Amino acid sequence: MTSKVSRGFMGMFSKATPAADASKLKPGVALPHGGRVEIGAPTGRWQLVVVYRGKHDPLCVTYLAALQVAYGLNEEQMRRWGLYISRPLGPEESINLFSEPALFLVNPAGLLHVMVYSNASFARPDLKQIAQGIKMVQDRKQPIRGTFY
């Protein structure tokens, strides 16, 4: 016998879930190209791409203090990158649609090696842990993971 609380909680998961989003990028593929800043082309070097919500978000301001990031993605570019997109809650937040946070690590061959998508401003990877993880991947020459799909 289950309580009302547990039935209610389990009911959250009984609804049909949408199919996997085919627009999301996959590990081991090349990033979309085009725009004012060319990112992800094979350079022989590792590249880290961090997507943030905008300067309206205090968490983004703190996060970006440690980084130099290009800005100004339009909706079509956000969709090509498979980003989660939000409507502003009001003009104090933004007047345009904006992307939610994401992080991409591109290997020297220009392939997506690591990716992190979020749909909330507070759910982003710690930059210190990311730096440690990147060093480990490079030192151990680890292959791209998560390609069995």
pLDDT per residue as tens digits for the range 118-144:
998 888 888 899 999 999 999 999 999
> How does residue 49 score in pLDDT terms, banded at 50, 70 and 90?
confident
In the predicted structure, residue 19 carries a pLDDT above the cut 50: no
Does the pLDDT of residue 16 top 60, yes or no?
no
Of 118 and 10, the one with more pLDDT: 118
Q: Three-state SS across the chain?
A: CCCHHHHHHHHCCCCCCCCCCCCCCCCCCECCCCCCCCCCCCCCCCEEEEECCCCCCHHHHHHHCCCCCCCCCCHHHHHHCCCCEECCCCCCCCCCCEECCEEEEECCCCEEEEEEECCCCCCCCCHHHHHHHHHHHHHHCCCCCCCCC
Q: What is the pTM of this model?
A: 0.73
Asked whether the predicted pLDDT for residue 44 surpasses 60, the reply is yes
In whole angstroms, give the CA distance from residue 123 to residue 118. 6
Confidence at residue 141, expressed as pLDDT on a 0 to 100 scale:
94
- Render pLDDT for 58-112 as a digit per residue (tens, 0 to 9): 888 887 777 767 667 889 989 988 999 999 999 888 888 999 999 999 999 889 9
| pLDDT class of 6 with cuts at 50, 70, 90 | very low
Q: Categorize the per-residue pLDDT at 41 as very low, low, confident or very high, splitting at 50, 70 and 90.
A: confident
